[in-house]
Each structure stands twice: as structure tokens, then as C-alpha cells.
Amino acid sequence: MAKLQVAIDLLSTKEALELAAKVAPYVDIIELGTPLIKSEGLAVIKAMKAAHPDKLVFADFKTADTGELEAGMAFGAGADLVTILGSVDDATVIGAVKAAKEHGKGVVVDTIGVKDRVKRAQEVSKLGVEFVELHAGLDEQAQPGYSIQVLIDEAKRAGVPVSIAGGVNIDTIAAVKAAGVAVAVAGGAIYGAKDPAAAAKALREALDAA
């Protein structure tokens, strides 16, 4: 069964906690977005894990170097999963996986900006990561002609556990699920909705539908 991850790209701990309280019943993973962590620091991880100990808390660090150090910081603050950029040296991923093993947690590789996402997903999957995020970031999504279909096609070819992030919404989630993803990530479709709880519920139901 695919997991549902809410990506919280808001800027304050207060807003993030308010949103999480509304959508937690429908999601498996609560992602603290990179801008949120830059704005609020490690304290937002600690606060979210304290509020939702039964959820997986995902720290979107997008680490580019010192993988062991930064992953250890995230896990020490209460994160269950942390992201490392896929474009960086394998040594950074290996260091983060070492920290994950020490803490009993997991590493997710984010392929944002990677040219051949499938090839890199297959490479880093051999390094002991939990799953690989096939990701078109917010800037890439804003380019004319962007379509999530490219990520869906890649997920079908990957042959390793992947998530899709970059335009998952109520219109696309069935195709995302059919691609066999481990995790569907929805940010704007939830935090940008008039009723985030209803949006998360609808996504959950679509994901769980036979």
C-alpha cells in the first residue's frame, strides 16, 4: 500500500503544526519542507515529532555535503527520514546511511536537478537508502510545459522503491499510484487547499481505492 506524505512548505512552526493537526489522520509521513527548516531550524522537527509521535517525520534537508553530520542532526532532533541530494558524491549518501543505521532511521535521496533520475535512483538504492524521491521542484514545475507524467513514466521504469513529488494532486494521484510508488508526496494540493483536511482525505481515499 502506497504511503501518503504531506509536504509542508510553510514558513513558521505555528502554521506547520496547525496544518499537521488538520491532516494527520490521513497521512503517513509529515514532511517539513526545506524553507520551513531554514526558517525555524531544528526546533520545528522536535516540535512536530512531539505533536505527532505516531507519524514519520521527514526532514527535507536536501543535504549536499557532510551527510553523516547533517543526517545525525536531523535524527537527533526527532526526524525519522532525511533527504540527501542525489546529485552529490556517493560518500555523502553513504555517510548519511551510516548515521541512519546508528539512529534506527532512514535516508531518502532527492533527485531534484538530476538529469537521469532513473539511473541515479538505481545507483543510490544500492547504498542502503529507504527510497528515492523522483522530484520536480517548485521552480521546475513552474516552467512552461511541465507535466508530472515524466515522473510517472520514470517510476514505472525505476525498479527500486520511489516516491513522486512535483504536482501530485487529486487529478494525478491515481496515475501516481498505478506507477507503483512507495510514497506519493503532496504539498500545494494540501497546504494550498481551502480545506486541507478534506484535500488530504480525498487523496488518501484515492490512494487506498482498489
Ligand X SMILES: O=C(CO)[C@H](O)[C@H](O)COP(=O)(O)O
**113 is a contact residue toward ligand X (CB under 6 A):** no
Q: Which is nearer to ligand X, 38 or 157 (CB)?
A: 38
Which residue bears the cell 507519524? 55
With CB under 6 A as the contact rule, the residue among 28, 60, 80, 154 that binds ligand X is 60
Q: Which is nearer to ligand X, 33 or 67 (CB)?
A: 33
Q: Which is nearer to ligand X, 67 or 166 (CB)?
A: 166
CB of 20 to ligand X, least distance (A): 14
Q: Which is nearer to ligand X, 142 or 210 (CB)?
A: 142
**40 is a contact residue toward ligand X (CB under 6 A):** no
Mapping DSSP onto H, E and C, the string for the chain reads CCEEEEEECCCCHHHHHHHHHHHHHHCCEEEECHHHHHHHCCHHHHHHHHHCCCCEEEEEEEECCCHHHHHHHHHHHCCCEEEEECCCCHHHHHHHHHHHHHHCCEEEEECCCCCCHHHHHHHHHCCCCCEEEEECCHHHHCCCCCCCHHHHHHHHHHCCCEEEECCCCCCCHHHHHHCCCCEEEECHHHHCCCCHHHHHHHHHHHHHCC
**166 is a contact residue toward ligand X (CB under 6 A):** yes
CB of 115 to ligand X, least distance (A): 17
**199 is a contact residue toward ligand X (CB under 6 A):** no
Q: Which is nearer to ligand X, 7 or 101 (CB)?
A: 7
Q: Which stretch binds ligand X (CB under 6 A): 10-18, 21-29, 91-99, 165-173?
A: 165-173
For the beta carbon of residue 118, count every other beta carbon within 10 angstroms: 20
With CB under 6 A as the contact rule, the residue among 79, 107, 168, 184 that binds ligand X is 168
Measured between alpha carbons, how far is 18 from 13 in angstroms, rounded to an integer? 8
**196 is a contact residue toward ligand X (CB under 6 A):** no
Measured between alpha carbons, how far is 47 from 119 in angstroms, rounded to an integer? 36
Give the nearest residue (CB) to ligand X. Answer: 187
Q: Which is nearer to ligand X, 95 or 167 (CB)?
A: 167
Q: Give the binding site for ligand X (CB under 6 A).
A: 7, 9, 33-34, 60, 135, 137-138, 141, 165-168, 185-189
